[in-house]
Amino acid sequence: MTTTDIGPNTGPRETVRRPSRFLRNLSPKIAMLPLIFTACVVFLGGTLWTVLYSFTKSGLLPRLSWVGLDQYERLWSSRKWIVSIENLALYGICSLIGTLVIGFTLAALLDRKIRGEAVFRSIFLYPFALSFIVTGLVWQWILNPELGLQNVVREWGWTSFTFDPLNNPEIVMFGLLIAGLWQGTGLIMCIMLAGLRGIDEDIWKAARVDGIGTVKTYIRVIIPMMRPVFVTSLVLIAAGIVKLYDLVVAQTSGGPGISSEVPAKYVMTAMFGGQNLGQGFAASSMMLLMVVIILIPWAYLEFGGKKHG
């Protein structure tokens, strides 16, 4: 809609009414509709459906037979579930710290412009191209006491050497951790390296002029500047921790006994092995709750703190 306006010193001019805020940039919004539909219907709808049926006595097929909190009471009275939570916490803490420390250290070394950087970068990143099943099978062989590392060291003459984590219930999770770090560290290294390459060279020059050592420069200056990079890395690592399943199945299948069980495997076993969808839905809902408990404080500190700062 247009209107005609006559100014005091000018002739007639047309004033064009601007479109409403909703109609601005309409093409990108239309292009986003499939993604919004998928997020709302598939993800949000699937989540609500899972939580709803966790209060039912669903067996092989879902059915609305309400049992209240019985599935959750049964879940938390299960020794296998408790062991799964303990294992996930142990693996998660060690994986989070180990992946960040090793990834950043490798990135810092490569950032020194060493010879053959492209070769080393490819070597470190290569394991990430493998699936967890392949990684698990490879490390199952490497950690096999009769064929792998222990056998090789003993053939070199150290006959008393013992390293068999996958058959030791006390340290089996560390055997899984070795394989997880081997596969996931390369990606974090590349992300950290990209962040380091984005640091202005003048900052390093200023640090050298002030007499600040390299390690102190990283700790006091570089790492705080790379906060967004670390946040991205944390999200990626946390997603991999929560989804830990393939590696366990390939290496130990939850053994010895139940010593390497994890929540994702518990869910799959309950739903498809035990044909108990209700129990699987309850375990899935608890996994979702754990993620929410972790994300809420992070979201508040990341976004809420900025508004009040």
Among 39-43, 207-211, 257-261, which is the least confidently predicted range?
39-43
Size of the chain in residues:
309
3-class SS of residue 5: strand
Tokens of 78: 């299960």
E strands, the chain, where?
A: 2-6, 12-16
Cα–Cα dist 271/287, whole Å: 15
User: Phi and psi dihedrals of 111, rounded to 5?
Assistant: -75, -10
More confident of the two residues 73 and 113: 73
**Bridge-based pairing state of the strands 12-16 and 2-6:** antiparallel
The predicted-structure confidence for 131-158, as pLDDT tens digits, reads as follows 999 999 999 999 999 989 999 999 999 9
**Partners of 171 in beta bridges:** none
The predicted-structure confidence for 174-203, as pLDDT tens digits, reads as follows 999 999 999 999 999 999 999 999 888 888
Q: How far is residue 169 CA from its own chain's centroid?
A: 25
The predicted pLDDT at position 306 comes to 53
- Secondary structure (H, E, C), 140-189: HHHCCCCCCHHHHHHHCCCCCCCCCHHHCCCCHHHHHHHHHHHHHHHHHH
Cα–Cα dist 140/251, whole Å: 5
Cα–Cα dist 205/309, whole Å: 31
Judged on CB neighbours under 10 Å (0-12, 13-18, 19+), 90 is middle
Give every CB contact of residue 112 below 8 A, 6+ residues apart in sequence.
none
Residue 20: pLDDT over 70: no
- Mean pLDDT to the nearest integer, 75-97: 95
- Mean pLDDT to the nearest integer, 203-227: 88
Query: In the chain, what percentage of residues exceed pLDDT 90?
Result: 51
Residue 281: pLDDT over 60: yes
3-class SS of residue 50: helix
The predicted pLDDT at position 32 comes to 84
Q: What is the mean pLDDT of the chain?
A: 86
**Residue 230: its H or E element:** helix 227-242
* CATH number, span 72-308: 1.10.3720.10
| CB of 274 closer than 8 Å to CB of 257 | no
The predicted pLDDT at position 176 comes to 95
The predicted-structure confidence for 38-68, as pLDDT tens digits, reads as follows 878 888 888 899 999 999 998 888 888 899 9
Query: How much is the CA Rg of the chain, to the nearest whole Å?
Result: 27
pLDDT band at 13; cut points 50, 70, 90:
low
Domain layout of the chain by residue ranges: 72-308
Residue 70: pLDDT over 90: yes
**Partners of 6 in beta bridges:** 12
